[in-house]
Each structure stands twice: as structure tokens, then as C-alpha cells.
Amino acid sequence: MVLSVVAVGAAAITPAAAQTVDQADRSVDSTEVQPGDTVQVTVDVAFDQAQSFQIDEGFSPAFSNVEIVDADGASFDAAEDDRVVARYGVLGDPPRGSATLVYEVTVPDSANEGDTFEISSNADSDVDLGTTVLTVTQGDGDGDGSRTAPSTAQAGDTVQVTVDVAFDQGQSFQIDEGFSPAFSNAEIVDSDDASSEAAEDDRVVARYGVLGDPPRGSATLVYEVEIPDDADAGDTFEISSNAD
């Protein structure tokens, strides 16, 4: 388990359009990937009234492959290794009040552990979805781990994070999550019967199979972090595994 970034950015329509955004979310299967993995990305947008609009997603660096799975009846759509574009309510189609765009990106086989791939809204997009970061991890062969959380949030939001780990045999282990910068609050929702646990604004720690408890083969740790009220659109908060 390595980095998972929660991008803070109040979804906002560009000044060129006069409508109000009711919903704007980007979600991914996982922010932790391995070389060759294919990750599904879902973009949901909704406006207060029907209009013409464009979703324009950029990738830095480019992926090895990008495919649109479902354009939700877009008037026009196109996918390249460094970009996905879908336009709605144009080319003779009626105005749209919402859309759900689903596409897949493939991490290059040559990617190295620690490499990051950013998914962000291009300047031509009518909705700003912030930035989602995928981080490459090679895995150690002894266990599997994943961290799931929304990729975007607004100032003051409380975001739930779930960490799942599993090993090939029972053992003692520790989950140690660090936050940079610190959140305004962090709380453990469910430690899955950890032997010990602690939560601070910049860290969450849970230990399993220690202090007299039997070895564990797996654990699911659920905690919540709160975005500071003074966070600005475009700010990012990194959730990563500490050295311990």
C-alpha cells in the first residue's frame, strides 16, 4: 500500500457556462495499481438545468491504453492515451442535465514502484473534478493490500477510508497511515478488533496479532478524515503508508 490522494476541489462549472453544478464526482477502482493494471474511472456530473457541456479528462503521464466503456449517449466522444473527451447536448442532440462517463486506463508495463499517474480536468472541461492520483506499487508477494476512498471532496467534508490487507498466513502486522498535510480530524470507525489502535490528525495506526492476541491473516481498517474548512479548490491531501 502506498499513496492515495484525496483532491479537494469544489466542483465548479467554468465561467463560460452559466449553469450551476449539482453533482461532480470522479471515482476509480483503486488509487493503488501495479504495472499492467487496468483501472476503471467513472465521472458523474449533474447540472441544475439541461444544457450543452463537455467532460475533458487529461492524463499525466500518458497511460499505455485508454478506452471509453460507456459514454452515456454522448453527442461526441474520443479517447487517446493522454486524454478522454465527451460532449453532450451538441451536434443536434437536445440539452442534457446530467451524464455518467465510464472509461478504463491501463498502466504501462514499464511503470516502476512509486510512479504516479494524474487524472485531472483539462481547461476545456465544463466541470472541474480536481486531480486523482494513481500510485504504482509492485507488491511483496506475501500479502495483498488495498486502500479505497473517494478521489474528490470539498472543504469540511468527512471522507471514509477503508484499508484491506491479507497475508498468506497468520502473523503480527501493523497498518500505519500518514496524512500530508494533516486533516482537521481523523477517527477510527472500525479497527476490526485490532490489538491496539490510535488516531491523530496526521496519522492512524492499528496493530494486529500482538499484546497476547493470536496471529491474524487479514484485517479491514475503516477510518474517517475531515477536510479542513479553509481548504481551497485544488488543494491535495496525501494518504500514504508510513515506514513503520
The full set of domains in the chain, from first to last, is: 4-136 (2.60.40.3550), 143-241 (2.60.40.3550)
- pLDDT for 34 equals 83
- pLDDT tens figures, 145-155: 788 887 778 88
Write down the pLDDT at residue 75: 97
pLDDT category of residue 169 using cuts at 50, 70 and 90: confident
3-class secondary structure per residue, the chain: CCCEEEEECCCEECCCCCCCEEEEEEEECCCEECCCCEEEEEEEEEEEEEECEEEEEEEECCCCEEEEEECCCCCEEEEECCEEEEEECCCCCCCEEEEEEEEEEECCCCCCCCCEEEEEECCCCCEECCEEEEEECCCCCCEEEEEECCCEECCCCEEEEEEEEEEEEEECEEEEEEEECCCCEEEEEECCCCCEEEEECCEEEEEECCCCCCCEEEEEEEEEEECCCCCCCCCEEEEEECCC
pLDDT on residue 19: 58
Whole-prediction pTM value?
A: 0.59
| pLDDT given at position 170 | 80
Give residue 55's pLDDT: 97
Which band of pLDDT confidence, cut at 50, 70 and 90, is reported for residue 142? low
User: Among the listed ranges 1-5, 101-105, 228-232, which one has the minimum average pLDDT value?
Assistant: 1-5
pLDDT at 13 over 50: no
